[in-house]
Structure 1
Amino acid sequence: MGLTDLDLVAFGFFLVAWGGYHLAVERFGPARASLNTRMADYRRAWMDQLLARENRIVDATIMGSLQSGAAFFASTSLFAVGGVFALLQATETALVLFADLPFGIETTRAAFEAKVGGLGVIFVYAFFKYAWSYRLFNYAAILVGAIPQDVSDPGTAAARARAAQMTIVAGRHFNRGQRAFFFALAYLGWFVSPWVLIVATTAVLVVMAHRQFGSDALAALDVEKHPSP
């Protein structure tokens, strides 16, 4: 295929970084302190507040906004997939371009096409995540509509829990799609050299980890504990 040992090491590092970040944010201990997990609690709080509102236009507006975001990124993913096919058709031109870049290294056609194929897989994965997220937000909207107006109804608590959990699952898949976009940016470094892939992956990993565990957005959730002067 024309890939060197360093290429394989760099690609392995890329996969380990992506998988490790996924586990840290969604599975292992650090996940409990992540921004995504904290926002899941506020999704449940949203449904608690919904029960107190007789008019749920606000909730319908929020749900529509969430669906629109997922639809936008799903469409963007399709454009990105189209760009991958266009890049495959311009392989010869791209090979010359990347070879002329500073620190760029010459590569074979097979290796370049393999890298482009990997990029296409990432964008297809992102599309499926965004499209599924859009569908799940659609289901969540239906579940919200199914929550009884009467809070004394014995089925209200379960209906509220179902709607909240569906929005959490939809948000989780949306986050996975965004994660794929961010790592796709790092993946582009591979077209320059394996070392650039390693550096770019590390940079993306650091930025994303900071946003989840140390960003001002996370601090905003604790503003009642530590109010600004």
Structure 2
Amino acid sequence: MLGFTTLDGIAFAAFVLAWIAYHLLMEGDWSQRRTLNRRMDAFRVEWMQNMLRRDNRIVDAQIIAALQNGTAFFASTSLLAIGAALAILRSAEDVMAIFNDLPLVAPPARGAWEVKTLGITLIFAHAFFKFAWAYRLFNYTTILLGSTPPVEEADTPRAQRHALKCARMATLAGRHFNRGQRAFFFAIGYLGWYVNAYAFMAATFAIFLVILNRQFGGDSHWVLDDEDGPMDFEEKKALAETEPPR
């Protein structure tokens, strides 16, 4: 139907399963203290607890503003990607003519080409909504930061609960930002479908392994696992210059 084969269906099913599996690995109960993303959640709590004891919280506001700017960049990039995908869909005849001249690429059927392009458009639309919501959540985090009790009340239960609210809001924003980035990564694997189903499966598997290594690889966890006591300048310098384990 529409020029798709059984192998195309298998490749697309593998793509969806890889996305779901990665989502469960990153955000399921099993991921607690195992993935880099979930380990950083604890540092958000520590950040907000330290924020309570700062009389001047301009630095904290600047950190959130920097996170917002990065999120806004990706949201804008998502819109550009959506526009590019729709432009390709409109110029299907010209693009298909280019693909017909490429080696190792089977000439695509018009219907299949349009469905594939609509698919990647939806992926970028999903990414845009995630980044836009993450931007809004960072804005809410700023509001919570502005309503933080004064430093004199830092040790009160009310202030501690408020710091936890700030950390949870920042964590939720980071989670939606990660979901948007996840869509970007899998969109790269999706591009393999424009070649053929085998390239689609190979690209999906490669992307899955790469982003999985980013979360479970030893280099970033090696940084977080350093919990030694106070060090002097020379010890800190030597540790910073040490190569992480491969």
Q: Amino acid of the residue matched to residue 79 of structure 1?
A: L
- What does residue 213 of structure 1 align with? 216
Give the Å deviation of 1:68.
0.5
More deviation in 87-96 or 57-66? Answer: 87-96
- What does residue 113 of structure 1 align with? 114
User: TM (normalized to structure 1)?
Assistant: 0.96
Separation in 1, partners of 2:107, 2:138:
46
Give the Å deviation of 1:100.
2.5
- What does residue 33 of structure 1 align with? 34
- What does residue 185 of structure 1 align with? 188
More deviation in 60-69 or 29-38? Answer: 29-38
Give the Å deviation of 1:146.
1.1
Separation in 2, partners of 1:79, 1:31:
35
Matched, 1:68 2:69: yes
Separation in 1, partners of 2:185, 2:115:
20
Q: Amino acid of the residue matched to residue 131 of structure 2?
A: Y
Separation in 1, partners of 2:193, 2:22:
20
Q: How many residues are aligned here?
A: 229
Contact 1:104 1:192 in 2 (8 A): yes
User: TM (normalized to structure 2)?
Assistant: 0.89
Q: Amino acid of the residue matched to residue 4 of structure 1?
A: T
- What does residue 223 of structure 1 align with? 226
SS in 2 for 1:53: coil
Separation in 2, partners of 1:98, 1:218:
43
Alignment of 1:1-229 (within 5 A): 1-149=2-150, 150-224=153-227, 228=239
Contact 2:32 2:39 in 1 (8 A): no
Give the Å deviation of 1:131.
0.1
| Structure 2: gaps spanning 5 or more residues | 230-235
Give the Å deviation of 1:22.
0.5
Give the Å deviation of 1:97.
1.9
Q: Amino acid of the residue matched to residue 160 of structure 1?
A: A
Separation in 1, partners of 2:93, 2:32:
44
Larger Cα-atom Rg: 2
Contact 1:101 1:192 in 2 (8 A): no
SS in 1 for 2:33: helix
Give the Å deviation of 1:145.
1.1
Separation in 1, partners of 2:49, 2:3:
57
SS in 2 for 1:87: helix
SS in 2 for 1:32: coil
Deviations 1:147-186 (A, max 9, x none): 1012144421111111100000000000000000000011
Q: Amino acid of the residue matched to residue 210 of structure 2?
A: V
Separation in 1, partners of 2:113, 2:76:
26
Contact 1:24 1:31 in 2 (8 A): no
Give the Å deviation of 1:118.
0.2
| Structure 1: gaps spanning 5 or more residues | none
Q: Amino acid of the residue matched to residue 217 of structure 2?
A: G
1:116–1:19 CA distance, 2 compared to 1 (3 A): same
- What does residue 233 of structure 2 align with? none
Q: Percent identity?
A: 47
Q: Amino acid of the residue matched to residue 67 of structure 2?
A: L
